[in-house]
Structure formats: structure tokens, C-alpha cells
Amino acid sequence: MAAEQFQALRTYLNSQVLGQTEFTESLLIAVLADGHLLVEGPPGLAKTRAVNALAQGIEGSFHRVQFTPDLLPADLTGTDIFRPEQGTFEFQQGPLFHHVILADEINRAPAKVQSALLEAMAERQITVGQKSYPLPELFMVLATQNPLEQEGTYPLPEAQLDRFLMHINIDYPNAATELDILRLTRGEELHGSETMLQPLKQADLFAARKAVLEIYMDEAVENYLVQLVIATRTAAAYSDDLGRWLSYGASPRATIALDRCARARAWLDGRDFVTPEDIQAVFPNVLRHRIILSYQAEADGITADAVLQKILSLVPAP
């Protein structure tokens, strides 16, 4: 039953966000793997629309926060409000107490705001004064970054980047998809367009997450997964080029994320076992933001994606 509901949700997302099937699949994988998502792409590629559609397809509340340099931690967490009639302070919840949070242009907020968001992402709680407040069991941060303009931005610290399950890069659609987008914005019905009538209940979502964790992974496939992550830390053993290009590899959190995402992809495809292809498909998105390139790589114009593809080609699959 849960599998059918997720397929309906996938169809709905693809009907609302045209030409971004990898992006919409990553949204569903993040939901199933109980993780946060960082999305990077130029303006106007329906990043906000996709997150809004996901929130409508899941039973829960949605809130969008526009990150700006003057944003304060209390604008996210909430604050204590003084009630003079009672002579006491009462906590007023902020946007982080919603189920799905869109952190728009996350890299435009200063360090204190990032610190408050990091606590929410890592600990599933927020702290105001001397008291901590738990966040909802269903809690997802879907953050966006604009790669075109860096003026007035604050690079995300590595510790916060590591808390994102995946980092997705999206690009402009092709001509045929652009035509469909044009027709959709005019209100025309497209072939195969669907309307999501029944949101996915949270109980069914949690049941699906449990089913994902029970997906079978052979020991050989498991070892392959681990070796891919280890290769980012011992790059020189695989290739002199990799040794020059990589300064720091991925943490064990990457191994956990890769495992969860590969299982979620297998489950979405209707299988009860993980294949090496599942791991290879999610590997770039899971590792893209977790490795640190050397100055030599940057000088040579080598990207993180090129490094990860090199690792995939050198680590033998079972």
C-alpha cells in the first residue's frame, strides 16, 4: 500500500515539476531516508514549486523561510514572549516547528542563524535560553543555493554541509520540456498530468521508512559501498591524480547516508534488494558536498563530480 502511495506521489511531483525527474526522485529518497536536502541551481527552475508540491503530497505543515543577512536565530526558532497579564514568559514557536521547511538561499544567512539551523538538523531540537524544545518526528529541511551570485553570501561550514543527506545540482530543461512548462503556466492540461487528491499519511510514511531499512543488501554489495567511501580518504592508493585532487575524504556519516539512499532507491523501484547500480546512482549526490578538493584540483578545473566519477571507475563493483 505504501509503495503504491509513493508511486502516486512521484507521478504527482513529476506532473508539477516538469523535466526534473532526478530531482523529484531525490526528494522522495530524502523523505524515505529521513534526511535533509541541499539543492543548487539557477533561479527559475521550480525548486520552491517542487518543495511546495512535496509538502502538499504529505500530511503535514510547510513553511518557507527566505534567508537574508539580517535574519536572526529567533526568526527560525521562536522566542519567549512576556505576558504581562500573567507576569510570565510564554514560548512562541518559530518556523522550524513545521514538518517541511524550505530554507531559500540558505547561504545568505550569518553564522548564528546557521548554528541554530544546524542544531535543528542534527539534534531534532532547538534551544531558546535555558530550555530545549523537541521538533516534530517528521522534520525535513530542503535548502536551496544560487550558484550564480556569491556577493553577500556566507559559505556553509563543512559540519553543516555534512548534515545534508544529499546535494543536488539541477540545470535548465531542454526545448521540449520548456514548451510543456509554457503550456502548463497558461493553464493548459498536459498529457499525463495528475492531481494528488489524498496526501500521504505520516503513519504510512513512517511504515515505508521501516520497510526501507529492511531491504536486503548482500555482504559483497555492502563492502563495495564501504570501499567507495574509503577511496575518498585513501585516494592516492587508487590513482596519482586522485591523490593530488583530494584534500579530505568523506566521514562515516557519508557511509550511513549512502546506505540509506541506496536502500530507498531500491524500494522505490519495487525491489527488496540493493544492487551496485543503486549505490552508483546515488553516490554523486551523497558525496558531492562531503569531499574537499585540493588547490591543485581547483587550479586544474577539476570538479567534485569528476573526482567521484573517477572513483566509481576505479573501485571494482561486485
Q: pLDDT band for position 275 (50/70/90)?
A: very high
Three-state SS at 149: coil
User: Is pLDDT of 53 > 60?
Assistant: yes
The mean per-residue pLDDT over the stretch 17-45 comes to 88
Please state which of the ranges 87-91, 126-130, 185-189 shows the lowest mean pLDDT: 185-189
The b-or-e profile of 201-210 (16+ CB within 10 A means b, else e) is eeebbeebbe
The mean per-residue pLDDT over the stretch 230-243 comes to 89
Residue pointed to by grid coordinates 553564522: 111
Distance in angstroms (rounded) separating the CA atoms of residues 93 and 88: 16
Domain borders along the chain are 2-186, 215-313
Higher pLDDT, 288 or 88: 288
The mean per-residue pLDDT over the stretch 163-191 comes to 80
User: What digits encode the pLDDT tens for the residues 90-141?
Assistant: 888 889 999 999 998 888 888 888 888 888 998 899 888 788 899 999 999 9
Please give the pLDDT value at position 148. 66
Architecture of domain 215-313: Orthogonal Bundle (1.10)
In terms of Cβ atoms closer than 10 Å to its own Cβ (0-12, 13-18, 19+), residue 116 is buried
Distance in angstroms (rounded) separating the CA atoms of residues 314 and 306: 13
Please give the pLDDT value at position 160. 82
User: Is pLDDT of 247 > 70?
Assistant: yes
242, 310 in Cβ contact below 8 A? yes
Please give the pLDDT value at position 189. 61
Instruction: From 256, 255, 239, 254, select the one nearest 309 (Cα to Cα).
Output: 239
pTM comes to: 0.88
* 131, containing H or E segment: strand 131-134
CA distances (Å), origin 256, targets 77, 160, 251, 253, 283: 28, 16, 9, 5, 12
Residue 117 CB coordination number (10 Å): 27
56, 231 in Cβ contact below 8 A? no
User: Is pLDDT of 197 > 70?
Assistant: no
The b-or-e profile of 269-290 (16+ CB within 10 A means b, else e) is eeeeebbbebbbbbbbbbbbbb
- The fold of 2-186 is Rossmann fold (3.40.50)
User: Is pLDDT of 176 > 60?
Assistant: yes
Higher pLDDT, 188 or 45: 45
